[in-house]
């Protein structure tokens, strides 16, 4: 590559743009919690925040992008807590059980945001990079436990059970409470490890 080529380097984000982004996120979270994600339009978010629609769409191209931004902070927190636990506690089985419960709790708290689809796209949350680390974590912990069998498939089974659509089906259609879901996951884990 020619060292003399001019490269575009974006400047720092303006302070007012950062403030607008935070205002939009706070407004969206409040409206979504009060009215439900599906009931709130992008226009309503812009109006309630007191900004133009152009400002909103410069930051978030659609409601799915807005929801992903709202999920980002909590996802980072889950990653940080997980990395800390894995670095300080050595019991792979206890860590895996803890991690499965933490992800179920994360999905339960954020179910409405996780179910928002990008228009005209087939988005599979299991393939989303922000969620693939769940599978990687499960797989690495299974490696440390070292059960007999196909570790990759075992990781897939547990990972698929954490999908928001599976958990929503269990909660809404089958009437499972969170304790039953967690108990079922643990039972599935122990059966896989036999």
Q: Which residues contact 80 (CB under 8 A, 6 or more apart)?
A: none
Residue 71 has a pLDDT of 87
The end-to-end CA distance of the chain, in Å, is 55
- In the prediction, which pLDDT does 3 show? 45
- What would you measure as the largest C-alpha separation in the chain, in angstroms? 64
Asked if residues 181 and 171 have their Cβ atoms less than 8 Å apart, the reply is yes
pLDDT computed for residue 104 by the predictor: 97
Domains defined along the chain, listed by start = 7-60 (1.10.10.60), 64-193 (1.10.357.10)
From CA 147, how far away is CA 179, in angstroms rounded? 26
Q: What is the pTM of this model?
A: 0.78
Strands (E), the chain: none
Residue-level pLDDT at 112: 83
Per-residue pLDDT tens digits of the chain, which is 194 residues long: 444 444 444 444 578 888 999 999 999 999 998 998 889 999 999 999 999 999 999 999 999 889 889 988 889 999 999 999 999 999 999 999 999 999 999 999 988 888 776 554 554 567 667 778 999 999 999 999 999 999 999 999 999 999 999 999 999 999 999 999 999 999 999 999 98
């Amino acid at each position: 590559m020619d060292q003399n080529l001019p490269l575009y380097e974006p400047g720092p984000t303006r302070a007012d743009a950062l403030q607008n982004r935070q205002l939009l996120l706070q407004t969206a979270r409040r409206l979504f919690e009060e009215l439900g994600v599906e009931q709130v339009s992008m226009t309503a978010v812009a109006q309630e925040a007191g900004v133009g629609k152009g400002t909103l769409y410069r930051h978030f191209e659609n409601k799915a992008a807005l929801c992903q931004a709202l999920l980002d902070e909590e996802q980072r927190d889950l990653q940080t807590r997980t990395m800390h636990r894995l670095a300080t506690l050595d019991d792979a089985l206890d860590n895996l059980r803890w991690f499965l419960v933490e992800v179920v709790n994360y999905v339960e708290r954020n179910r409405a945001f996780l179910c928002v689809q990008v228009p005209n796209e087939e988005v599979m949350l299991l393939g989303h990079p922000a969620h693939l680390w769940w599978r990687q974590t499960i797989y690495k912990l299974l490696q440390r436990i070292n059960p007999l069998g196909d570790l990759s498939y075992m990781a897939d089974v547990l990972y698929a059970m954490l999908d928001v659509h599976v958990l929503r089906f269990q909660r809404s259609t089958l009437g499972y409470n969170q304790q039953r879901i967690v108990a079922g996951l643990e039972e599935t884990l122990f059966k896989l490890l036999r």
